Amino acid sequence: MLGRGLVAAVLLAATAACGASGSPPARGPQPEQLPHYDVAEDFSLPSSPTWKSAHRRGELTVGVKEDQPGMGEKNPATGEYTGFDVEIAKMMAASLGFDPDKQIEYKAIASANRETALQNGQIDYYVGTYTINEGRKKLVGFAGPYYIAGQRLLVRRDEKQLKGPQDMAGRKICSAVGSTPLQRIQADHPRAVAVAYDSYAICVDNLLNHQVDAVTTDDTILLGYAAKDPERLKVVGKAFSEEPYGIGVPRQDRALARALDKALVARERSGDWKRAYDATLGLSGRPAPEPPRVDPALTR
Ligand code: GLU
């Protein structure tokens, strides 16, 4: 099934822009409601090769998602990116001395391509629902965590049987290639029929077209899709994993990871983290949780 899913993913990637990923945000944040981040003056981080070359270029290249409403979404009409992850990316840029409105170039990178993008120097850092785990730590560096998500299920509103992970046997469950939720379905729920595409937006199109029975990934992402189309979609069951989100950095650039850790702590203390949450993810109605403790023991 996975093989077939992968082939279909290639075919569908070309048409994805017309589906769920292509429609403008239903009730995304208004630009004037988004926080403004003070840019650090005279900031310098000569021990970070990534920072040094970005400084020379005059801008940061930041990897994000483009089709995850509430987290990282590109407005096809304006080309603008919005969401909690995008806000984290912006406040980090400001802390590194870059103007978030003028000195960030965003690159949309799918789940499966994050490690290569960081290893090849295509991006300076990555903020896109990126779970910190041991396997990834061998390939990339992390700062954080800055949020803890959990895996859940998105189904069609008229779905009666699928109420949680216990009901997945024999059902087609869609997730993204290279993601932890897909791995978990394959490893812990072998009776579920795993289907994999390049992005969750393609999975959602397939759910609406009755090609699959559920989409599984982090609650942050699924709640964003459900909020956009509440008449047709709902999130069910409790979270069945913990996904601590980190900012991905090139593995050898410890100085950058340390600087981002420091910046996260400062932005949490200043209230910027909460303001960013309230203006994005918080629109779904869930009040801001306490941010998780930034923890080098978890990320390195
Ligand atoms: N947080 C999970 C992961 O990093 C799922 C979301 C995603 O694919 O970005 O794999």
What's the mean pLDDT in 225-230?
94
Average per-residue pLDDT for the chain = 91
Same fold, 42-149+244-285 and 151-236: yes
- In Å, the largest CA–CA distance within the chain is 58
Ligand 1 center–CA 244 separation, angstroms: 10
Contact 217 CB / ligand 1 (< 6 Å): yes
Q: In what order do the strands lie in the sheet with 81-82?
A: 67-68, 72-74, 81-82
Is the pTM higher than 0.85? yes
111 lines ligand 1 (CB under 6 A): yes
Q: How confident is the model at residue 249 (pLDDT cuts 50, 70, 90)?
A: very high
Question: Could you confirm whether domain 42-149+244-285 is CATH 3.40.190.10?
Answer: yes
In sequence order, what are the residues at sequence separation of 6 or more whose Cβ sits closer than 8 angstroms to the Cβ of residue 208? 20, 156, 229, 232, 233
Q: Which residue from 71, 86, 129 has its CB within 8 A of the most atoms of ligand 1, so it is best to mutate?
A: 129
Q: Is 261 in the pocket of ligand 1 (CB under 6 A)?
A: no
Tens-place pLDDT, residues 9-65: 433 333 333 334 444 444 555 666 789 999 999 999 999 999 999 999 999 999 999
Out of 31-35, 106-110, 209-213, least confident range: 31-35
The whole-angstrom separation of Cα 88 and Cα 200 is: 21
Q: Say how many Å lie between the CA of residue 150 and the centre of ligand 1.
A: 10
Position 203 pLDDT exceeds 60: yes
- Please state which CATH number belongs to domain 151-236: 3.40.190.10
Cβ 179 under 6 angstroms from ligand 1: yes
Tell how far the Cα of 40 is from the centroid of ligand 1, in angstroms.
30
Q: Which atom of ligand 1 is nearest to the CA of 149?
A: 1
Domain ranges of the chain: 42-149+244-285, 151-236
Closest by CA to 205, choosing from 181, 182, 228, is 228
pLDDT of residue 276: 97
Q: Can you give the pLDDT at residue 30?
A: 63
**Ligand 1 pocket residue status of 130, Cβ below 6 Å:** yes
Which residues, at least 6 apart from 21, have a Cβ–Cβ distance to it below 8 Å?
66, 67, 199, 201, 202
- Nearest-atom number in ligand 1 for the CA of 243 is 1
CA 233 to centroid of chain Cα atoms: 20
Index of the ligand 1 atom closest to the CA of residue 183: 10
Return d(Cα 205, Cα 140) in angstroms, integer. Answer: 31
Whether 68 is in the pocket of ligand 1, judged by its Cβ within 6 Å, is no
Q: How far apart are CA 225 and CA 207, in angstroms?
A: 12
